[in-house]
Amino acid sequence: MNCWRHFRTRQELYHFERTVSVTFRLSNSAFLRMPVSKREEPKNAGQPSGLPKLPVPPLKETLEMYLKCMSHLIPEDQFKNTKSIVEKFGAPGGVGELLQKKLLERHKEKDNWVYDYWLEDMYLNNRLALPVNSSPVMVFPEQNFRGQNDVLSYAAHLISGVLKYKSLIDSNNLPVEEGRGQQAGKTMCMDQYKKVFTSYRLPGPKTDNLVVHKSTERPDPEQIIVACKNQFFALDVGINFCQLSEKDLYTQLERIKKMADSEEERQPAIGLLTSDGRTQWAKARSVLMQDSTNRDSLDMIERCLCLVCLDDPSGIELTDSNRASLMLHGGGKDKNGGNRWYDKPMQFVIGADGCCGVVCEHSPFEGIVLVKCTEYLLSYVSSSSSRLVRAASVSELPAPKRLRWKCSPEIHALLTDAADKLQRLVQNLEMNVYQFNSYGKDFIKKQKMSPDAFVQVALQLTYYRRHGRLVPTYESASIRRFQEGRVDNIRSSTPEALAFVKAMSNSSNFTDAEKMEKFKTAIEAQISYTRLAVAGNAIDNHLLGLREVAKELKIETPELFTDPTYLTSIQFMLSTSQVPTTEKMFCCYGPVVPNGYGACYNPQADHIIFCVSSFNDCAETNSDLFVKTLDGCLMEMQDLCRKWNTQATPEKKEGTPKLMKNGRKS
């Protein structure tokens, strides 16, 4: 079918579509600007039916688990005081019962009682800059581009893959996922996929808004924004519902590259403003919005499908650690730090030097969605790389549009300030990407242990060896088996983990059998809490809900939430996440507190990739030393397993307590 048969040229069609687009935007802009939490949305047609609601855990069980989780992480006197506060909060007729009752009422009224509370607390209320502090990245395998043609061919092919993946989402043809591990066989909520290419994080002075545009509300040509040399260009990827061919995409990217090289047309590096703190960026955006030229440019960026960032060479050695750092912050103002727009959920980075990956604004969806999308794209690119285009199209195409900006002296001052702060962030980040090659998940499984639990206990041992104590630890646990489910927290620094790491650090006082028993008990405690979390019964979301209900009722903040123990409990000095992949790529992110570590890991059959981050201005933390210690701990744990396997003959086991599946002695 000829899509352009009613028009004499593609330019005529292009101008017609732009006219329709402007008319539609004027009539619908107020609706589209509404935050997702404040407007009715059509139900996801691709959503599996019959998903249960997230339960509200029993108050008594949450309070008991809270005390257990914190008892060994704080001084004894402080714990006694906290225990008294918790008992008062949970007493019959107390404020805890009132708040629990209100949460149960909310459970009846909402598809997911914690979703809005969680989204605001985890992301939208956070005032820190997005790069490093919030946005994770996926680092692709290093590419060997021989020149500009290879770069643009790769970009055209990637964009084609993006459009095909989006069509799968829009047509509800993505396979409905089922859980693995602790959630094996459970159907997963697919709602997050609908936000991958349709959402935008809008900055606000006190809190941000997550805005979601529905595909059915987009009659104008779908656009991708291409960033090149800190300039932004609108690229229509389809005309009259027909997707551009890869040759057409290549032609348009080639045009964009030439336009970006023009010094006379060069615009300020406005993208730097999005790297600033959220309140500062909200202020800058409000100033930009005073001019109609800026409003048009902002509108195009905020409504586009995604960004494709064509980066200049960084000029540094592309080690895994350096590539991870570059993906997190772009290298700062003097490299590609301004070649970004951090509010968009998906920014595909294609560096002329082969440094490629994707930057993710995390509020619309979880890491598994990012992984599934990027695995599809890498497979798409690699499976048909021989078809990569290397010549321009002969089709008649309208030129891509350069986004223009009118900047007042105030904007120029804000740009300078944002650039300086980004540069300090670049200098402050210490990233170490380390591939542990001595063994992987296959060896761990042979020990009849969970690879995730094994690595989590290893991280606890490492932290203890480095700092002499355990600290509140965050490991994300998916609760997508429930309607609108996102995550809860697995608190990995258990009392059982502490007992194990102490035994390993005082080897002369414990036999191998005793250490192995404590090891298995720590593993089982980790698995037990994981089960609790994925079933919707962990403590963090529940305590958050109780706290937020108290705010809504405008009652005095319960002492439980002003207690130093609670404030300590939500300062996650070790923020961890397992992000396994089937393609050769890895995920990383920054620490979530100034004196903490980010620790992302990717267990493979015969190796484990660790991405450990910290801040240079914290004297206590050091990524390189953490990784060195981690390597030693993993080797010690393997050695312990091997010794136990050698010694554990029936004769030598006599007198040694056997461990049942629940970790108890028989």
What is the rounded distance in angstroms from the CA atom of residue 169 to the CA atom of residue 175?
10
Token pair of 567 as six digits? 């404030």
Provide CB contacts within 8 A for 19, sequence distance 6+: none
Cα angle at 459 between 458 and 460, to 5 degrees? 90
What is the residue-wise DSSP string for 334-371? TTTTTS--TTSSEEEEEETTS-EEEEE--TTS-HHHHH
Point out the residues that are catalytic: 362
Q: What is the CA radius of gyration of the chain?
A: 26
Residue whose pair of structure tokens reads 């007042």 in the numeric block: 408
514-518 own/partner pairs: CB under 8 Å, 24+ apart: 515/640, 516/640, 516/641, 516/644, 517/656, 517/657, 517/659
Cα end-to-end span (Å), the chain: 73
Token pair of 578 as six digits? 């397992």
Starting at the earlier edge strand, list the strands of the sheet with 586-588. Answer: 401-402, 231-236, 223-228, 307-311, 346-351, 356-360, 137-139, 586-588
Residue 459 vs residues 406, 465, 475: alpha-carbon distances, Å:
50, 10, 11
Q: Are 549 and 557 in contact (CB under 8 A)?
A: no
Question: How many Cβ atoms from other residues are within 10 Å of residue 598's Cβ?
Answer: 28
* Amino acid in the structure at residue 485: G
Q: How do 199-202 and 209-212 pair as beta strands?
A: antiparallel
